[in-house]
Structure 1
Amino acid sequence: MHHFFSIAFSLLAIIGQHVSVQTTERRSERSSSRIISLLSVENGGRWGTLRTKSMCPDGTYATGFSLRVEYPIGDGDDTALNGIRLYCADRSRGVISSIESETGYWGQWTDVKWCPSGYLSAFQLRVESPQGAGDDTAANNIRFRCSDGSELEGDGTPWGYWGNWSPTCKGTGICGIRSQLEQPQGNGDDTALNDVWMYCCA
């Protein structure tokens, strides 16, 4: 259970998210025709709702990622993985922009993990199953496979288990993201990010 002092921070974050989502929607409309496959996994958490997808600019693909993570807080309400940010680069490996679907309000952003070459092309989630009367965290961490065959593991939290890998991209690489996010629960049990979908472009 998060304390009252986080409410003001959450309101500020919501305002910031609103501005970010407006930009994301315009980018999605411009780039949706490039999508040729959708990647998902079977072990995502069950809470929250699907949020607006966010797409890399035309001609760019995700070559790296960072996570927003709330690390274990002891005697309190853990939320673990709160968000995923993708870094979009062109074929010369020049980073053009970063994108994210909506993100939870707790934690901090980790350092960026980069593919040695190529682009992100598949992913795997670490998810904690429902805890009953205990503290639920849902998604805890993510791994990506790059098109060069290398694997990158995020700096997430240790609860739960790794599920199966998603299918591999049809096309050049991952070019967009859409999250399933639970809103703050007030005095209830927060889980933040529960599941994620990745889009692949030609």
Structure 2
Amino acid sequence: MHHLLSMFLLLAIIGQHVNVQATGRNYKSVLTVSNGMSWGSWGHQDMCPTGMYAAGFSLRVESHVSGDFDDTALNGIRLHCVYSSRVSAANVVSNAGHWGQWTDIKWCPSGFLKAFQLRVESAQGNGDDTAANNIRFSCSDGVVLTGDGTGWGDWGDWSSACGGRGICGIKTRVENPQGNGDDTALNDARIYCCE
């Protein structure tokens, strides 16, 4: 029994740094927005472990590249999942682009993430396309958290809000590297709600 308790505590401590893929979890609804772009393909669905919900997020963002270089802006979204007690955490991430760095985690003061909004740049024709640039989440306590993405494009409408306890998973649409073409990386997201 003492050995099992020690293992649980160790997993709770290292769980903050482990990417857990639990795709078999049942979800109640899927949140979408209307302004996502359509380049690339949808990645895998990645769900918080059973009993956990997303209370925070971080982003993979490529900062503006000066000159005539190719900007990709938002490359990835990572959800940080916790139990109600917030004793331990795990993170989930679907498909993500290759460029940029992960930002610091933004946490709901209490409760869980409930809805999201994307900042997206429309197609630029012969210009440099970036697609999704930033994301906002609203928390069940009413707080709105804005990511540390870039400023191109416009904020679209909010998704509907989770009717269950909160957000529990993510699936993202990401364009693979284009070689000498125009890279956009992350284009759109689907967010899952659980009871």
- Shared topology, TM-score over 0.5? yes
Any gaps of 5 or more consecutive residues in structure 1? Answer: 1-19
Partner of 2:132: 139
Partner of 1:28: 23
Q: Deviations over 1:71-114 (max 9, x none)?
A: 10112000000000010000102232011001100000101100
Question: Which structure shows the bigger proportion of residues in helix conformation?
Answer: 1
Alpha-carbon distance in 1 for matches of 2:184, 2:142: 32
Pick aligned residue for 2:52 from 60, 64, 68: 60
1:50-199 correspondence to structure 2 within 5 Å: 50-75=42-67, 76-199=69-192
Alpha-carbon distance in 2 for matches of 1:93, 1:165: 27
How many residues align? The count is 177
Larger Rg: 2
Does structure 2 retain, via aligned residues, the 8 Å contact 1:87–1:95? no
Alpha-carbon distance in 2 for matches of 1:94, 1:118: 14
Instruction: State the one-letter code of the partner of 1:145.
Output: S
Structure 2 residue matching 1:28: 3-state secondary structure:
coil
Alpha-carbon distance in 2 for matches of 1:104, 1:95: 27
Alpha-carbon distance in 2 for matches of 1:178, 1:84: 9
Alpha-carbon distance in 2 for matches of 1:45, 1:118: 30
Any gaps of 5 or more consecutive residues in structure 2? Answer: 1-17
Does structure 2 retain, via aligned residues, the 8 Å contact 1:179–1:193? yes
Q: Deviations over 1:6-45 (max 9, x none)?
A: xxxxxxxxxxxxxx99x63xx102x1x2x00100000001
Alpha-carbon distance in 1 for matches of 2:153, 2:89: 34
**TM-score normalised by L of structure 2:** 0.88
Query: Is 1:48 equivalent to 2:43 in the alignment?
Result: no
Q: Deviations over 1:134-190 (max 9, x none)?
A: 000000000000001110000000000000000000100000000001000000000
Alpha-carbon distance in 2 for matches of 1:119, 1:190: 33
RMSD across aligned positions (CA): 1.3
